[in-house]
Chains A and B, each alone.
Chain A
Amino acid sequence: MTDDMVPDEKGYFGSFGGRFVPEILAPALDELTEAYRQAKKDPDFQRELYRLLAEWAGRPTPLYEAVNFAEKLGSKARIFLKREDLLHTGAHKINNVLGQGLLAVKMGKKRIIAETGAGQHGVAVAAVCAMLKMECVIYMGEKDMARQSPNVARMQLLGAEVKPAGGENGTLKEAVNEAFRDWVASVRETHYLLGSVVGPHPFPMMVRDFQSVIGREVKEQLKTRYNRLPDYLIACVGGGSNAMGLFYPFVKEQTVKMVGVEAGGQDPASGRHAATLSMGRPGVFHGARSLLLQDADGNIAEVHSISAGLDYPGVGPEHSYLKESGRADYTAVLDKEALQAVEFLSLTEGIIPALESAHALAYTMKLAPSLKEGQIVVVNLSGRGDKDLEIIREQMEGKR
């Protein structure tokens, strides 16, 4: 792994990032930074992480060419799916959770807390905690507990305590708030296992590093088969961890176009969306400076997405940096386009994608007709859609 310029030692990606936290958390973040620095170069730690990623979680994941999907869209390009949906617990989240879980053991922590939106991160944390014999508390917005109830049951079966956050409208933002409040009160014995490339330094850097196994595998897989780089990388962005994991190993390959797809919700013009990079302004929230959906007074906006995992008003600082520098492009698709993409992939390829990942597919469907012969597109299929069946059925019945 190469050491890169970003972030700097204060956790800045250009003007984004940093560490805006209550003083009580400063020692824990220093401890975490140091523990991670050591683990990164510790061969025993890396060996154990890669053993678990392989034997327990199922890495490497396949890179599958979606021939039917491409053909039906009239695409001349070759479209590949990075099958993170096949991982244990159903999404890319497990890559980061295993890394931080082992780090927490190394730091002597006895208790893990985490936030979850769709429940994919929560399930991954609950599973890793069971395996590592750690006490586990998951904060989840009440609205998300209702709309992703199968994941609540899975977390409980895995021995985690699921605590509701934020009242009946509570979503990911409120879950992060409550996790931070818990951490402020429990920091000596507890590790906060943040699930995305957000939060104070070192989280955005560390989570990116743990997730970049996705992009490294893609690079290797394409090199072995075709001895070339991809033309496009496409991934959905909520906090942005699956996108950052896919993009990061390609950032310096200037010929590779990178597109992050946000939740356009019902209608970006109406304010019922979660398209932070497309519509946000710089601000400081949940420990870092990044783009942010907020009102004129700097209060955090109420956002909306059909997908609980993208329903968040902030975004990882490195994405703000990649947008500002022009290295990556960001766009948004609507709830209904994501739903269409779920149906389309299910029928063409026999794969039910998560609503989150369906945003990346929906954009790919729009892009497909304009692609050239022989171009290679890699879409990160970050999670599977089993958890969304109820939402999808409701929406489809509503239409028929």
Chain B
Amino acid sequence: MSRISSVFDNKKGTLLIPYLTAGYPSLQETVEAVLLLEKSGADIIELGIPFSDPLVDGVTIQQAANKALQNGVNIKMCINAVRLIRKSSSIPLIFMGYYNPILQYGLEDFCADSSSAGVDGFIIPDLPPEEAGMLEKSAFSRGLDLIYLVAPNTPDERVKYIAERSRGFLYLVSVEGVTGMRESLPPGLPEFVKRVKKHASLPLCMGFGISTKEQAGRIAQLVDGVIVGSSIICHLSGKNWRTALPAYVHELKSHFR
């Protein structure tokens, strides 16, 4: 069983899954932040590989990616960062990245190097299952999970198809829109989750637009894991992030039941 699946199997409450862009504000701080997030109660980490043109990301993550690219961060360096993290951590780690950099690195090499460094799975928002056959082959043979996304407008039949292909968990996009903090989340999320549950037997996690403790608390009642990204990036951008970040994680988790 993958490290991701076993965290869901042994969970007591809803899991918290922070996202951070590798290399923002610096790669050294990314490594430090992951370890601090784990200590503060995060359950899985989503580590973003920076890309020049992140199509589903709002301004916050776009800017973090730009900074990371200015810092010269590429896939190889992300993999090295995972090796450093793995020296002292066993938290499940997921690479979130756009497809082209992965394709240029080489699908087979990407899976081999990720696996040997201790990565547990991938989320690739611009790679639908129809186009993912080659990557699945390389990933699944090494026990790496490929996590697919469903959106509120995904038809039932397609939810079923995607859920059958997804490994580790299924990623529910909460909003129709790009990543980024919002004052309110759309209505109809309980119905969306209910609809997906009819077709999916694997754990469900929800992300996009979730930042406040109230939002996280409400989503935590619906699904197995809550993904928080842009707001984590914001908490990392201040000088005092080493105190701000754990405080924020505690605040979010205190609203999970």
Contacts and interface: CB of A to CB of B under 8 A. Distances in A.
A286 to B, nearest CB: 8
Given A20-B131, A184-B178, A188-B153, A26 B158 contact: yes
Interface of A: 10, 18-24, 26-27, 173, 177, 180-181, 184-188, 281, 283-287, 292, 294, 296-300
B101 A20 contact: no
Nearest to B59: A181
Chain B interface SS verdict (over half): loop
Nearest to A25: B151
A300 B176 contact: no
Contacts of B153: 24, 27, 187-188
B178 A177 contact: no
B154 A299 contact: no
Interface centre among A24, A187, A283, A292, by most chain B C-beta atoms within 10 angstroms, is A24
Nearest to A28: B153
Given A24-B176, A297-B74, A300-B52, 8 more contacts: A18-B131, A20-B126, A24-B173, A180-B55, A181-B178, A186-B176, A286-B55, A296-B104
Contacts of A187: 153, 176
B104 A297 contact: yes
Interface in B31-57: 51-53, 55-56
B104 A19 contact: no
Given A177-B53, A284-B103, A19 B131 contact: yes
12 contacts: A20-B128, A22-B55, A23-B128, A23-B150, A23-B173, A26-B158, A177-B53, A186-B176, A188-B153, A284-B103, A285-B100, A298-B103
Interface residues of B, number: 37
B53 A283 contact: no
B241 interface: no
Contact of A23 (B74, B99, B148): B148
Nearest to B175: A185
Given A283-B100, A283-B104, A188 B176 contact: yes
Contacts of A283: 100, 103-104
B125 interface: yes
B149 interface: yes
A299 B128 contact: no
Given A185-B177, A294-B104, A298-B100, A19 B53 contact: no
Nearest to A282: B103
Given A21-B126, A299-B101, A285 B53 contact: yes
Interface in B134-158: 148-155, 158
A284 B100 contact: yes
A10 B129 CA distance: 12
Contact of A27 (B55, B126, B154): B154
A48 to B, nearest CB: 29
6 closest A-B pairs by beta carbon, nearest first, are A298-B104, A298-B101, A185-B177, A299-B52, A24-B151, A297-B74
Contacts of A292: 100
Nearest to B125: A22
A186 B175 CA distance: 11
B183 interface: no
A66 to B, nearest CB: 40
Nearest to A296: B104
Nearest to B132: A20
A301 to B, nearest CB: 9
A287 B56 CA distance: 12
B52 A10 contact: no
A23 B162 contact: yes
Interface in B60-74: 69, 74
Contacts of B16: none
Given A184-B177, A185-B177, A298-B102, A21 B128 contact: yes
B130 interface: yes
Contacts of B104: 281, 283, 294, 296-298
